[in-house]
Structure 1
């Protein structure tokens, strides 16, 4: 189970059906999850402002803000993973749920024995996606940092007529002596060069 003895996974249940909401809450609380309940999308948004859940279980068909509308908000504004609860297993509805980015799907009436395993699988999937996004972000950042460093080395080679290794060593040693990441120093160097070029254009226009 993903919920640990020290840290409980937080689940937001959103359903306008009181029976379903109560049933899910009792079963998941017994499985040692921390539960928040909302009977409509608006109430769910208010809860999220005070306490961000690890995952939200959304009924698709609700009056006012539908589960799909709420899911779209979560996807665009919060990054909170979500799964759907629906009275139908229609292929088109399931496809739509996938397109919205749902990490799980349960059909009403819910199978009591499958509630906890389905939620656990959805939480695991959400965790995998979060780690993947983090890895992609780190990779993008690393590639950008590498490009900045390479460009800064090239700039130093041109300015001081040095070879690549010497230029890199100077840049690295300067960063180390100032206890700063080399890519930050490289970025500042490139920005300074860009600023100087802007002034060159202004003087050339005189």
Structure 2
């Protein structure tokens, strides 16, 4: 029986310590992840934005751009979730990083047995956040479409002195006959009304001048 394997998750590991960078990357590669390495925030940023990873593992203290700064840039410019590699006694930094998309952390010195479970937990959290964001976007779009349709129905009711059900059916049938979404037709009606209303002041002024 053929089995489909899940696509490899892409990880970006960033640390200025070559030993830690090599160690963490090798553990993750052995676990089946697609790993990209960078030894500075400046090197990591364009890599992450050009081909966004599913998760970025970031060392907190690096010369130049710190892990916190990089986490912030990744969140603002690419919505890339991050995981912090921190030393003992840096929990205040970890808490700060959560405001910039950090979904987990590992404490140095890192033990091999801790890396994959922590990454899996962080990936699961990142996936949940992505789903919530998509749901929020879809809900916002649906609510906006609903408002446009309701306003267009009200416009038709006023214009043709008809009831709500009839106005909605006419709007829906028109959209169906033209193979279009009802909210698209509703939006066009509203824009047309706005355009017509823009002429009203000019006609009123003409009437006063006669």
Aligned equivalents of 2:129, 2:6: Cα separation in 1: 23
Q: Secondary structure at the match of 1:127?
A: helix
Give the equivalent residue in structure 1 for 2:31: 31
Give the equivalent residue in structure 1 for 2:51: 51
Give the equivalent residue in structure 1 for 2:91: 91
Give the equivalent residue in structure 2 for 1:194: 194
Deviation track 1:7-29 (CA, whole Å, cap 9, x = no partner) reads 11000001000011000111000
Aligned equivalents of 2:21, 2:205: Cα separation in 1: 71
Aligned equivalents of 1:205, 1:88: Cα separation in 2: 75
Give the equivalent residue in structure 2 for 1:148: 148
Give the equivalent residue in structure 2 for 1:74: 74
Residue 105 of structure 1 deviates from its aligned partner by: 0.7
Does the 8 A contact of 2:85 with 2:107 survive in 1?
yes
- Calculate the TM-score normalised by the size of structure 1: 0.94
Aligned equivalents of 1:49, 1:102: Cα separation in 2: 17
Aligned equivalents of 1:205, 1:23: Cα separation in 2: 78
Query: Which of these two proteins has the greater Rg computed from alpha carbons?
Result: 2
Residue 181 of structure 1 deviates from its aligned partner by: 0.7
Does the 8 A contact of 1:59 with 1:67 survive in 2?
yes
Give the equivalent residue in structure 1 for 2:18: 18
- The 5 Å alignment of 1:83-162 reads 83-162=83-162
Give the equivalent residue in structure 1 for 2:41: 41
Does the 8 A contact of 1:13 with 1:37 survive in 2?
yes
CA-based RMSD of the aligned residues comes to 1.3
Moved more, 42-51 or 9-18: 42-51
What stretches of structure 1 move > 4 A for 4+ residues in a row? Answer: none
Does the 8 A contact of 2:80 with 2:101 survive in 1?
no
Residue 95 of structure 1 deviates from its aligned partner by: 1.8
Residue 129 of structure 1 deviates from its aligned partner by: 0.2
Give the equivalent residue in structure 2 for 1:166: 166
Deviation track 1:97-150 (CA, whole Å, cap 9, x = no partner) reads 222231011111012101000001100100000000000111111111101100
Q: Unpaired segments of 5 or more residues in structure 2? A: none
- Calculate the TM-score normalised by the size of structure 2: 0.93
Aligned equivalents of 2:135, 2:49: Cα separation in 1: 27
Does the 8 A contact of 1:71 with 1:100 survive in 2?
yes
Q: Secondary structure at the match of 1:103?
A: strand
Residue 6 of structure 1 deviates from its aligned partner by: 4.5
Residue 36 of structure 1 deviates from its aligned partner by: 0.2
Question: How many residues are matched?
Answer: 203
Q: Unpaired segments of 5 or more residues in structure 1? A: none
